[in-house]
Amino acid sequence: MARQASYDGFTEDERAAMKERAAELKSTARRGSGAKKAAADAQDCLDKIAAMPERERAVAKGLHRIIAELAPDLAPRTWYGMPAYARDGKVVVFFKNASKFKMRYSEVGFNEEANLDDGDLWPTVFGITAMNPAVEKQLTALVRKAVS
């Protein structure tokens, strides 16, 4: 059997995201619990959104606004260095900006805590390139269903 010339493991971007997650876990442990922790987590989320390129930032801000209006019980935070929204400590919705992983499009994803189940097969991640009224309407419906 021939040896591989290179390692096909995690990319540099993936390793960076894992390091960000480790830092988030340490930061969360230091923050404890309560209103101050929630405010700091929310600020971390907003800081990640603010640091994005304009097009991605517009989408992330739109998603943030939709979630704040429809699901104020979802707590904003970061997750692997991405904006995310959690219930009882479990991420329900996240935004993966394209520039973070050098991808063609950003993604809005839903974890298993989201109520999107529909038979034996359903989508949980949606590619997104821009925020416009049609996209906003679709995201609103998805978030509404996810938190129902």
Q: Model confidence over 40-76: pLDDT tens digits? A: 889 999 999 999 999 999 999 999 999 999 999 999 9
* CATH number of the domain enclosing 29: 3.90.1150.200
**Within a domain: 7:** no
Assigned domain for 135 exists: yes
For tokens 């996209």, the residue is 135
pLDDT for the residue 48: 95
Range 26-30 contact pairs with CB under 8 angstroms and sequence separation of 24 or more? none
- Per-residue model confidence (pLDDT) at position 6: 57
pLDDT grade for 8, boundaries at 50, 70 and 90: confident
What pLDDT is recorded for position 13?
Answer: 78
The answer as to whether 79 is a domain residue is: yes
Residue range of the domain that includes 122: 12-146
Higher per-residue confidence, 71 vs 16: 71
**Residue written as tokens 């692997």?**
80
In a domain, 2, yes or no: no
Taking only the tens place, the pLDDT of each residue in 83-129 is: 999 999 999 999 999 998 899 999 999 999 999 998 999 999 999 99
DSSP letter assigned to residue 90: E
Q: Apex CA 8: angle with CA 5 and CA 13, to 5°?
A: 130
pLDDT category of residue 38 using cuts at 50, 70 and 90? confident
Yes or no: say if 12 and 102 are a contact pair by the CB < 8 Å rule: no
Residue 111 covered by a domain: yes
The verdict on residue 66 lying in a domain is yes
Domain membership flag for residue 5: no
What is the end-to-end Cα distance of the chain in Å, rounded? 52
Q: Residue 82: its pLDDT value, please?
A: 94
pLDDT value for 43: 93
Query: What's the domain count of the chain?
Result: 1
Residue 25 counted as domain residue: yes
